[in-house]
A = this chain, B = another copy of it.
């Protein structure tokens, strides 16, 4: 592994095996010094203790997962969701995270109004932005694969996310996860555009398996699927982003069933060879 292939472990990758503290211990043992935790994992150990572990071990936090989920059924519901995002900002700030990652949310209630949901997303980010900026926390919109448009995120392409970023200013960028964007016929142009805008805040990797048995929890280890990881990495690095590659694998039938140490070893081998 060369010096410029720094790995961050998204802690969803070892969710069933390890809590926050165990994951940091496992990472350090494997020579991995960056993580991206989920909010429930932070909550389980407590924010203060999480921050202490991060600081004491000089861990880089490449992101906090996740804010977002803005669309609501009414004004009160939407405000509740914005309030939760304000708390997420505080957590990202306490961990000195590179960004707060947003999974923006899908259609609220029984709505079929996708353009309306997308407006609610832009409005929601705008509402949280003053607190984010005051806290020094960057916001990373993660465009999600179109198969999640209804229930998880109505922002589904890099260009669509960048259009929102342009409206909201330089502290709102994108988290580019190969799993969500690899299929995009306009991918090269969109990543170059993100680079010109200086809005690439994170780079997530895993792989797309064929067949994919579960739409959420059957992501592949890098090299086991069809994504041209080196090509996308080159696009992202040519666009000026040289941060860690953050490994985020939801895998209920495979990697979640193996010992965490083994998973990290395979990740290191694959990042060194196929990423």
B-contact bits for A137-171, CB 8 A (1 contact / 0 none):
00000000111011100111101100000000000
Q: Is A255 an interface residue (CB 8 A)?
A: no
Contacts of A113 in B (CB 8 A): 228
> How many A residues touch the partner, as a band?
20 to 34
Give A118 to B186 CA distance when docked, in angstroms.
12
**Which of these, B114, B215, B231, contacts A212 with CB under 8 Å?**
B215
Structural contact, B149 and A183, CB atoms closer than 8 A: yes
**Contacting pair B226 A183 (CB below 8 A):** no
- How many whole Å from A33's CB to the nearest CB in chain B? 30
How far, in whole Å, are A145 and B107 apart by their CA atoms in the complex? Answer: 18
C-alpha spacing A156/B160, complex, angstroms: 16
- Please, which residues of chain B bring their CB within 8 A of the CB of A215? 147, 211-212, 215
A3 at the interface (CB under 8 A from B): no
Bound together, the chains give a CA A112 to CA B155 distance in angstroms of 25
- The verdict on A112 contacting B227 (CB below 8 Å), with A157-B185, A183-B156, A185-B157 known, is yes
CB contacts (< 8 Å) of A147 on chain B: these are 145-147, 212, 215
Seen from chain A, the residues whose Cβ lies within 8 Å of a Cβ on chain B are: 107, 112-114, 118, 145-147, 149-151, 154-157, 159-160, 182-185, 208, 210-212, 215, 225-228, 231
